[in-house]
Amino acid sequence: MKKIALLLSALAFGTSTAMAADLPVKAPPVPYVPEFSWTGVYVGANFGGMWTSQSSFWPNRAAGTIGNFGHDGSFGVGGLHAGAQYQWANNWVLGVDVSWFTGFDDTQVSGSPAPGCPNVAFLSCAAGLESVVTVGPRLGYAWRDVFFYGQGGYASGEINTSSLVKVGPALVQFDNFGKRKDGWFAGAGVDYAVWKGRQTSIIIGVDYKHVDLGTATMISPGDGVAFCAADCRNIKTSADIVQARFSIKWDPITPLAPVVAKY
């Protein structure tokens, strides 16, 4: 009887062991890795090129003299930018961007036809654009690490002009002054997340802006009056800017990936 009981126990143990071996092995949980988000705030630097289109009109020129002159130029520019943006509905991103940049030189161009002004006493007259600020929204579509956007809004730029005269053997500035003028801008760009941390990322991108500042009336301090006298000029200014942008983005909203315990 004892032999039969021992035989039945061994048979039951072997059957349970075989059934346990046939059970599927549960894989350990995969650590959660959040998808990259374009939500956050950023700061950075930019550099590139600016192509200006400026035309000056001298309303008080002498009768029979040319009154319209061009001052088109191209310059290297560099500056800073900052902004904030939010990604929603999976792929859409809305934000606001503030950018500042200026030329690497004085950004003044002699007029064409020469000398750039109607006053025969002047050897040359020049105009330029520097210290540009743009503020406006950005709206675009993000596909994983790439963000395509359009942009537009407020622009402001420092329009400057000068006239050069000869006094005896010396060359003297008759006037060299500037005036800040408001306008608008529109453009587009693309950003790429070249490095992604948990809440910090490095972004590189290419940005295009068209800036239109309209017409500024430049009253020459050389005339010694506060109204449009002999040597005032109306300067119409627009510019096209292409820049490379380098940014550091922080995302304080997206939570960190949870820590998965290992046994």
d(CA 154, CA 205): 21
Decide if 255 is inside a domain: no
For residue range 132-188, what is the model confidence (pLDDT) as tens digits?
Answer: 999 999 999 999 999 999 999 999 999 999 999 988 777 888 899 999 999 999 999
pLDDT at position 7, please?
41
Token pair in block for residue 103: 């030329």
Is residue 4 helix, strand or coil? helix
pLDDT computed for residue 154 by the predictor? 98
194 Cβ contact list (under 8 Å, min separation 6): 202, 203, 204
Q: Is residue 115 part of a domain?
A: yes
Whether 17 maps to a domain, the answer reads no
Which secondary-structure segment (H or E) carries 12? Answer: helix 2-22
Task: Report which of residues 72 and 9 the model is more confident about.
Answer: 72
Q: What's the rounded Cα separation, in Å, for the pair 192 and 174?
A: 49
Query: What's the pLDDT score for residue 44?
Result: 98
CA 138 to CA 147: how far, in whole Å?
11
- 254 has a pLDDT exceeding 80: no
Note the residue count of the chain.
263
CB atoms within 10 A of CB 252: 8
User: Residue 28 forms beta bridges with which residues?
Assistant: none
- Give the CATH number, domain containing residue 61: 2.40.160
Percentage of the chain lying above the pLDDT 70 cut: 83
Does residue 122 lie in a domain region?
Answer: yes
Q: Identify whether 140 is part of a domain.
A: yes
pLDDT digits (tens, 9 = 90+) for 104-131: 887 899 999 999 999 888 999 999 999 9
pLDDT score for 172:
85
As a whole number of angstroms, the distance between CA 241 and CA 74 comes to 10
- pTM for the full predicted model: 0.82
Q: How does the average pLDDT of the chain come out, rounded?
A: 87
26 located within any domain: no
Q: How many domains does the chain have?
A: 1
Q: Does the N-terminal peptide bond of residue 113 adopt cis geometry, omega within 30 degrees of 0?
A: yes
Average pLDDT, stretch 221-249? 93
* Three-point CA angle 117, 240, 201, nearest 5°: 145
How much is the pLDDT for 62?
A: 87
CB atoms within 10 A of CB 232: 18
Q: What is the pLDDT of residue 194?
A: 97
d(C-alpha 202, C-alpha 194), whole Å: 6
Q: pLDDT by residue (tens digit) across 19-55?
A: 444 545 566 655 444 578 999 999 999 999 999 999 9
Q: Does residue 104 lie in a domain region?
A: yes
Q: If you average pLDDT over residues 192-197, what whole number do you get?
A: 94
- Assigned domain for 2 exists: no
Residue 64 structure tokens: 């029979």
Q: 67: domain range?
A: 36-250
> What's the DSSP call for residue 37?
-
